[in-house]
Chain A
Amino acid sequence: MRSQEQGRGGGRNDLPSLPSYGAARPPGLEYIMGGCGIAGTIDVSGGKMSGEVISRMLTTMRERENGLGSGYSAYGLFPEDLKDLYCLQFFFDDENAMCCVEEYLKDRGDIVKDERVPTRKVPSMRPPYPIVWRYFFQPDPLSSSYLIKGQGPDECVVDVVMGINNGIPNAMCVSSGKDMAVFKGNGYSYEVAEFYELGRYSAQMWLSHSRFPTNTPGWWAGAHPISLLDWSVCHNGEITSYGVNKKLVEMHGYKCSLLTDTEVVTYLWDLLVRRHNLPPQVAAFALAPRYHDEIERMDPKSRALAEQLRITYKEAFLNGPFSILVGRGQPDITMIAMADRKKLRPLLFGRSADNKRLFAASEECAVRIVEEDAETWVGDPGSPMIASVGKGLIRNGTEAPFKGVL
């Protein structure tokens, strides 16, 4: 793994000595300037890649971090017997929080297996480190402890995550999907990779993020990716419509507890795609809609849908600069990568010569370092690149908005 010099241009000693937090919500907010790096890769043929690949991609964009946070999500990494269970991965600040969560879970389903997530002490990382633990969980929709009895298992898990993250102190559920997990914390990207020994995992898709949310203090649970169910989102940017987006997700029962705009982005994907059943490219349009004058020039069918999306989902519109990497595990492992409609944040796509591996990153160097001969291109503003295991590249990010849907 990398040495500490990797954090050039903002080494540990240059940082203001801000307190660091584990799973407990920090008391106040701080503003830390800096860049943001995102990187993701997917093997659409179903092959697996070591966690070292993604950490190389991310750590090479060293200017884009400040040592306050980084994270990775891995999809398609668990063995057959655990794949279909929800993997609830947690940060705990103390044993008491852990006991409370276990009681909470037992009231709502079965803990089929639980284990400590292997971690290694990294001397340069600033304490405290939370306890990282995972539970393979099977919800019992008939449990009377749910807000609504008899709902689908996904809804039960959302209920569990919202319940714990908002109700149990010193505990934070950081990922809750099937056959996926999120590894994140306070530190530089190379430190976080080392902390979790990412090299021990191989997965079909990896997403990653370096640096910390611009408007929040350093705390472990607040680092990206932000995840709910099998969604995980890495985000570079600042959502100026946050207040509006938050209200929409709250109207649909999501509770925001992570102090970051990325959280609402995650919930919006869950709302629009899982709950409202929109294809990802249609949801992407709702999040970064085309301009009205562009919509007016569309063919009648696309225009009707585009207008309806702008009207219906106006609170879902993510305004401000962003580029996001979105991962989803069900029904197929899928990567969605897109930038805002003015393309105020960088995002570049890449494909390996054998067409098996696809990449998305803030900078070209992130792709080149792992695939020297990759073909690279940029997508249109607001237009998603979508790739999925088994289906290959579904959209390269330059097509008409509803291609393949209408």
Chain B
Amino acid sequence: MNAPAHASLDDKERVFDRIIPDKFRPIIDRNACLNCKRCVKECSFGALEWKDDRVVYKGGCVACQRCSAMCPARCIEIATVPSGLPPHASYTERVRQGINAQASSGGVLLCSCGTDMPYGMIFDDLILDAAQVTNPSIDPLREQVETRTYVGRRSSRVMLSGDGYVTESDGSGPVVAMDMPIMFGHISLGAVSYNCQRSLFQAAKDLNILAGSGEGGLHADFLQFADHINGEVASGRFGVTPEYLRRTAAVEIKVGQGAKPGHGGHLPGEKVSDLISQTRMIPLGTDALSPYPHHDIYSIEDLQQLIAALKESVEYRVPVGVKIAAVHNVAAIASGVVRAGADFITIDGFRGGTGSTPRVIRDHAGLPIEVATAVVDKRLNEEGLRNRVTVCAGGSIRSAADMIKVIALGADVAMVCTSALIAMGCQVCQSCHRGLCAWGIATQRPELTSRLDPEIGARRVTRLFHAWNEELKEVMGAMGIDAVESLVGNRDRLRYFGPNQKIAEVMGVKHVGEGWG
């Protein structure tokens, strides 16, 4: 393809590029430096070079912290470079950089990870409850507090027959039992490395929870984890084989994703290595495009057909879900999705992460997961559907507190991605889309991928979620609740302590200081 004329820069114009200053810069303590060149090797972004018998900084540091973490003399510090730009409250540094980058490239700005815009986190405006006296708290170290969670479609009624039970014929489906109300969202092989995905799958197995396969099928090596994998069916249908559908523990149709609502997937050809080409079943080096819409879904009825077809393909043995991005009308959409037969529904909030997305979408489209979860839960309740379906919610679950709050707002399961990557080493440098991840997470380069030991990765993620689950038990115990099902949608256990009472009203959460009733 010819580069568009406006994208080519002559040397005279390149000077403009230089007015985009670096935001970070490694500072090397020359007295301590051993001149071992380790940092030069570690910097996958090419920001350091060996010149005149010492390490010099070339520019382009993303603050991935790899060099400083690996420096044997611990002599590198990553400093934030103060902006030299004249201050302006509206034309912030970020805005000016964006303008310059587009004036140079003429293209859509790409970015990774969740939005870094300073929208307030509603989670931080919610306060949890605790039991006192008449409703005694429970000590999880001495008493059982249960966190087992089922994913799937529920019958709203059990009927007893002489020889056991039957469930209402139209509503029951297979369910997957997880030991805690957490699952990994879809992080595809391609967006992340083989070792990263292996770590996630191993952790899911060790924790007995589900991990999303991400788009693009399943590498043959990972079939061993199939019992803990929620297989994604995206519009590109890459890697969706009968075996994939037969083996995974759940199947999920991806309609939308929080970081890029209204967007499909795009894995650039450069990232389509041998490994990816085999897994996705596409030629080496070609772009893997999952277009924005599924070209066979233009209505709820179409979605219903795909759900039915998938259920047929899995012989009704595993639950079939649908993932949607949190958008303004999410409650009505969720209702339609449930009516179309989804056994579980995943809502992805607009702060969700991703390996690559247009920055304008990431930063400006969608709905916070806190609000989306609450309105979906409310709507499904009003329509008498909530007790049939499992609701999963994600998009910026940063801690056990966020997980607890999203459950109290109405989710059965918290879906987590970025936090798991951080546990493996991700520094949230927001450069995943460049494929150069210095920690071996968001890259396909073998020399980088090998930096992540899947055993260690799995162990760290396992410990993280185990700890969150313990914290969940502590909080539930403090609330006087001994099983997580009694926390789901229990907004009585939350109070709003933020600046915008309207948000609290929409979420159905009382203000701090308000009692029961």
A-binding segment of B227-235, B440-448, B455-463, B490-498: B490-498
B175–A311 touching, CB < 8 Å: yes
Q: Is B470 an interface residue (CB 8 A)?
A: no
CB distance from A85 to the nearest CB of B (A): 30
Residue on B nearest A301 in the bound complex, by CB: B164
Given the interface contacts A311-B150, A321-B135, does A259 sit within 8 Å of B158 by beta carbon?
no
Residue on B nearest A242 in the bound complex, by CB: B492
Q: Is B165 an interface residue (CB 8 A)?
A: yes
Best-buried of A279, A293, A311, A315 by chain B (most CB within 10 Å): A311
Given the interface contacts A304-B165, A311-B175, A319-B483, does A29 sit within 8 Å of B517 by beta carbon?
yes
- B contact residues around A238 at 8 Å (CB): 134-135, 480
Given the interface contacts A240-B135, A311-B154, A315-B387, does A31 sit within 8 Å of B146 by beta carbon?
no
A312–B160 touching, CB < 8 Å: no
- B contact residues around A237 at 8 Å (CB): 135
- A contact residues around B387 at 8 Å (CB): 248, 251, 312, 314-315
- A contact residues around B384 at 8 Å (CB): 251-252
Q: Is B399 an interface residue (CB 8 A)?
A: no
CB distance from A236 to the nearest CB of B (A): 10
A292–B148 touching, CB < 8 Å: yes
- B contact residues around A317 at 8 Å (CB): 483, 485-486
Q: Is A112 an interface residue (CB 8 A)?
A: no
A244–B488 touching, CB < 8 Å: yes
Given the complex of chains A and B, what is the CA–CA distance between A238 and B488 in angstroms?
18
Instruction: Indicate which residue in B135, B381, B492, B493 contacts A250 across the interface (CB closer than 8 Å).
Output: B381
- A contact residues around B491 at 8 Å (CB): 243
Q: Interface readout for B481-507 with A: 1 if CB under 8 Å, 0 if not? A: 111011111111100000000000000
A282–B154 touching, CB < 8 Å: no
- A contact residues around B131 at 8 Å (CB): 240, 320
A216–B517 touching, CB < 8 Å: yes
Q: Interface readout for A241-264 with B: 1 if CB under 8 Å, 0 if not? A: 111100110111000000100000
Q: Is B276 an interface residue (CB 8 A)?
A: no
Given the complex of chains A and B, what is the CA–CA distance between A292 and B146 in angstroms?
8
Given the interface contacts A311-B154, A312-B156, A406-B164, does A319 sit within 8 Å of B482 by beta carbon?
yes
CB distance from B494 to the nearest CB of A (A): 10
A342–B138 touching, CB < 8 Å: yes
Q: Is B311 an interface residue (CB 8 A)?
A: no
Q: SS class of chain B's interface: helix, strand, loop or mixed?
A: loop
CB distance from A290 to the nearest CB of B (A): 10
CB distance from A225 to the nearest CB of B (A): 20
Q: Interface readout for B383-416 with A: 1 if CB under 8 Å, 0 if not? A: 0101100000000000000000000000000000
CB distance from A265 to the nearest CB of B (A): 14
B485–A321 touching, CB < 8 Å: no
CB distance from A105 to the nearest CB of B (A): 28
- A contact residues around B14 at 8 Å (CB): none
Q: Is B89 an interface residue (CB 8 A)?
A: no
Given the complex of chains A and B, what is the CA–CA distance between A212 and B386 in angstroms?
32
Given the complex of chains A and B, what is the CA–CA distance between A31 and B133 in angstroms?
12
A240–B175 touching, CB < 8 Å: no
Q: Interface readout for A309-330 with B: 1 if CB under 8 Å, 0 if not? A: 1111111010111000000000
Q: Is A398 an interface residue (CB 8 A)?
A: no
Chain B 144-170 interface residues, beta-carbon cutoff 8 Å to A: 144, 146, 148, 150, 154-160, 164-165, 167
Instruction: Indicate which residue in A33, A308, A342 contacts B165 across the interface (CB closer than 8 Å).
Output: A308
Number of interface residues of B (CB under 8 A): 43
B485–A312 touching, CB < 8 Å: no
Given the complex of chains A and B, what is the CA–CA distance between A395 and B413 in angstroms?
37
Q: Is B143 an interface residue (CB 8 A)?
A: yes
A277–B493 touching, CB < 8 Å: no
Q: Is A344 an interface residue (CB 8 A)?
A: yes
A240–B486 touching, CB < 8 Å: yes
B517–A312 touching, CB < 8 Å: no
Q: Is B513 an interface residue (CB 8 A)?
A: no
Given the interface contacts A259-B517, A344-B136, does A319 sit within 8 Å of B480 by beta carbon?
yes
Given the complex of chains A and B, what is the CA–CA distance between A250 and B136 in angstroms?
27
Chain B 98-138 interface residues, beta-carbon cutoff 8 Å to A: 131, 133-136, 138
Residue on B nearest A277 in the bound complex, by CB: B159
Q: Interface readout for A365-406 with B: 1 if CB under 8 Å, 0 if not? A: 000000000000000000000000000000000000000011
Given the complex of chains A and B, what is the CA–CA distance between A237 and B133 in angstroms?
11
Residue on B nearest A236 in the bound complex, by CB: B134
Q: Is B298 an interface residue (CB 8 A)?
A: no
Q: Is B242 an interface residue (CB 8 A)?
A: no
Given the complex of chains A and B, what is the CA–CA distance between A40 and B277 in angstroms?
72
Q: Is B515 an interface residue (CB 8 A)?
A: yes
A241–B486 touching, CB < 8 Å: yes
B482–A312 touching, CB < 8 Å: no
- A contact residues around B515 at 8 Å (CB): 29, 31, 215
Q: Is A276 an interface residue (CB 8 A)?
A: yes
Taking Cβ atoms with an 8 Å cutoff, the residues of B that contact A are 131, 133-136, 138, 143-144, 146, 148, 150, 154-160, 164-165, 167, 175, 381, 384, 386-387, 479-483, 485-493, 515-517
Residue contacts A-B, CB under 8 angstroms, 11 given: A33-B133, A238-B134, A240-B131, A240-B481, A244-B485, A247-B381, A276-B157, A304-B165, A312-B167, A314-B488, A319-B482
Interchain residue pairs A-B with the least CB separation, the first 6: A241-B486, A319-B486, A314-B485, A238-B135, A29-B517, A243-B492
